[in-house]
C-alpha cells in the first residue's frame, strides 16, 4: 500500500476590507508571513495579508514602536522566522475569533497511490511539503495517525516505523519537500499500527 500525504497551511479567518485593485470589498487572508521594521531600538510589526481574488497585499498592524528590549526572545525569533503557529494565532486574534483558531499551523490532504488494504503487512507513506510549511515530521505523523510523539518514537525503536538513515532525528525537523516513511508489521512490533489512518482523505 502506497499513500501520499500533502502538508498544507491551515486556513485562518479572512478579513473583508476594501481592495483598491478590485474596487470593492474583498476577503483578505493571512500569508503566514510578517513584515518587521526596526528604528532606533524600536520595532514595528505587521502580519501580511493578500486579497483572495487579485492577490493585492495588505499589512495588518500588530504593534508599533515597541522597544526591542521589551520583547521576549522567543517572540522576536518567531517573528523573524515567520513562525506559522504565531501567524495563525495573530490572524485569529485580529479577526476577533476565539476558540476556532487552528492550533497546529498545518493540515493534511492524503491520496492513495496504490493498494487498498488497511491490513497489509507493509505500507509506504510519502510526506510532501511543496510549500515548505513549518511543520515537524513527528507532529505531522502524530496528528495524521492519531498517536503521541512518544508513541511514534516507540514504533521507530520497534522497527515498525522506518525513516531515512534509520534515525528518528529527521522527524524532529521540518518536513522536507519529500520524505518517504515505511510502516511494517513485524515480530515484536505494536500490532495496532494504524494502517487504516493512512487511507484517510482530508484529514482533520
- Per-residue pLDDT tens digits for 160-180: 888 876 556 788 888 889 999
pLDDT average, residue stretch 147-159: 80
Phi, psi (degrees; rounded to nearest 5) at 168: -85, -5
Residue 34: which residues within 8 A CB-CB, separation 6 or more?
Answer: 45, 46, 47, 48, 62, 79, 80, 82, 87
Distance, CA of 171 to CA of 28 (rounded, Å): 33
Specify the higher pLDDT residue, 194 or 64: 64
**pLDDT number for residue 199:** 56
Q: Give residue 167's pLDDT.
A: 59
Residue 190 predicted with pLDDT over 50: no
SS3 50: strand
Is it the case that residue 189 has pLDDT exceeding 60?
Answer: no
Predicted confidence band at 122 (pLDDT cuts at 50, 70, 90)?
Answer: confident
- What pTM, to 2 d.p., does this model score? 0.55
Q: Does position 200 have pLDDT exceeding 60, yes or no?
A: no
User: Measured at the alpha carbon of residue 113, what is the angle toward residues 12 and 181, in degrees to the nearest 5?
Assistant: 75
Q: What is the mean pLDDT of residues 43-61?
A: 92
The C-alpha cell at 182 is 515505511
Amino acid at each position: 500500500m502506497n499513500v501520499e500525504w500533502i502538508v498544507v497551511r491551515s486556513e485562518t479567518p479572512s478579513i473583508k476590507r476594501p481592495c483598491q485593485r478590485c474596487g470593492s470589498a474583498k476577503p483578505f487572508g493571512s500569508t503566514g508571513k510578517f513584515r518587521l521594521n526596526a528604528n532606533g531600538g524600536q520595532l514595528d510589526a505587521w502580519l501580511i495579508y493578500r486579497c483572495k481574488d487579485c492577490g493585492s497585499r495588505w499589512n495588518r498592524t500588530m504593534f508599533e514602536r515597541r522597544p526591542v528590549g521589551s520583547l521576549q526572545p522567543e517572540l522576536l525569533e518567531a517573528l523573524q522566522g515567520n513562525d506559522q503557529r504565531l501567524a495563525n494565532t495573530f490572524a485569529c486574534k485580529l479577526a476577533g475569533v476565539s476558540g476556532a483558531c487552528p492550533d497546529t499551523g498545518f493540515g493534511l490532504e492524503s491520496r492513495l497511490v496504490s493498494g487498498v488494504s488497511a491490513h497489509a503487512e507493509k505500507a509506504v507513506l510519502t510526506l510532501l511539503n511543496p510549500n515548505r510549511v513549518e511543520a515537524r515530521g513527528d507532529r505531522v505523523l502524530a496528528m495524521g495517525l492519531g498517536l503521541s510523539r512518544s508513541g511514534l518514537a516507540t514504533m521507530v525503536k520497534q522497527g515498525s516505523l522506518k525513516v531515512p538513515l534509520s534515525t528518528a532525528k529527521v522527524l524532529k525537523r521540518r518536513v522536507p519537500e519529500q520524505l518517504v516513511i515505511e510502516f511494517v508489521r513485524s515480530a515484536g512490533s505494536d500490532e495496532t499500527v494504524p494502517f487504516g489512518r493512512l487511507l484517510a482523505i482530508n484529514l482533520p
